Amino acid sequence: MVHPDRDLVAEGVVDSRELLPALSELLGHLVWRAHARVALALAQELPAGVDVHAYAVLLILDSDVPHSQQELAEAAGVSRTTMTRVAGDLSARGLVERVRSPADRRSYALTRTAAGAAAAHDWQRHVGAMQDRLTAPFSADEQAELLDLLLRVVAPGLPTALLPALRGSIGFLVSRLHAVMHRDFLALLEPLGLEPRLFGALTAIASTEPVAQAELARLLGVSGARVVQIADALEEHGLIERRRDPADRRTSLLHLRPGADAVLAQARTVADAMNNRVAPLTAAETRRLSALLERFVTTL
């Protein structure tokens, strides 16, 4: 499941162009960083409390044909709970109408109101400007290539009827890809007792140790408070330890503990397998997607 973008911002994600070489090799990390950059940019463009999922719902509801909340949740790659929250927020703003689904009275179907259509038009203008800003370093051909690669990965999980409205939205496609990859990677890492965020941090520590918590936060693109939580979790798993910096006793340096290398190697095998199975892309296309995403997250 993907957290709503407003929660992503609240969790301490910061806008950073720094990318450690060891992390640039991980497609999952690149997708997460791209998703984070889109979320932070959207937070500046959309009204308070509106995230990419609410924006996507209004784009999808571009006709008089209602769509069920479950269908919309599947398209956005979020849980039913999150979609219920999104639908409730849009309904409270008068942007959608919720009615009981004729096919299943236990579920709701959504249609867009006239106010919702006007909001979608206004938001689309702002989001389009945001997308132009984020992709400014790309040529027109490169932008089209990035959209094509994202769409080919994401499209198999989307209802065909929903594709036209979302086809040109890099922000939505990146967020949707993040949702899918995070869900799958979380399940694959579970036997190792890791989560994607812990794997990324462990990868960074292994390539820079000893590393100060503040430096790790900069390399990961998260706040100092967020990296403290990550370091606490890694310490609880027995994978790292904190030691005082001899040159500055106020600073904690992070070191790998014995056995962490073996856990990291197992997790890296899982990550490599994920990199190699981004259906329906070939290995060369996956590398190209990684290269484009790396530029997307590091270019000013």
Residue 17 and residue 20: Cα distance in Å, rounded?
A: 10
pLDDT of residue 49: 74
What angle, rounded to 10 degrees, do the helices at 69-76 and 170-189 form? 80
Asked whether residue 54 is assigned to any structural domain, the reply reads no
Asked whether residue 81 is assigned to any structural domain, the reply reads no
* Cβ pair 264, 282 in contact under 8 A: no
Residue 125 and residue 15: Cα distance in Å, rounded?
A: 23
Mean pLDDT by 10 residues, the chain (300 residues): 41 73 93 90 80 82 82 78 90 91 76 92 86 90 94 80 71 86 91 93 95 92 91 95 87 94 95 81 93 91
CB-based contacts of 41, cutoff 8 Å, min separation 6: 130, 133, 134, 171
Asked whether residue 221 is assigned to any structural domain, the reply reads yes
pLDDT of residue 176: 84
Domain limits for position 243: 1-43+132-300
Asked whether residue 115 is assigned to any structural domain, the reply reads no
Global pTM reads 0.85
pLDDT of residue 159: 66
pLDDT of residue 64: 74
Asked whether residue 30 is assigned to any structural domain, the reply reads yes
What is the domain count for the chain?
1
* Cβ pair 225, 219 in contact under 8 A: no
Residue 189 and residue 204: Cα distance in Å, rounded?
A: 17
Asked whether residue 99 is assigned to any structural domain, the reply reads no
Question: HSE of 58 in the Cβ direction (CA atoms, 13 Å)?
Answer: 28
CATH number for 151 = 1.10.10.10
Residue 249 and residue 246: Cα distance in Å, rounded?
A: 6
CB-based contacts of 265, cutoff 8 Å, min separation 6: none
Asked whether residue 258 is assigned to any structural domain, the reply reads yes
pLDDT of residue 200: 94
Q: Is 29 exposed, middle or buried (0-12, 13-18, 19+ CB in 10 A)?
A: buried
Cis upstream peptide for 210 (omega within 30°): yes
pLDDT of residue 12: 65
Asked whether residue 96 is assigned to any structural domain, the reply reads no
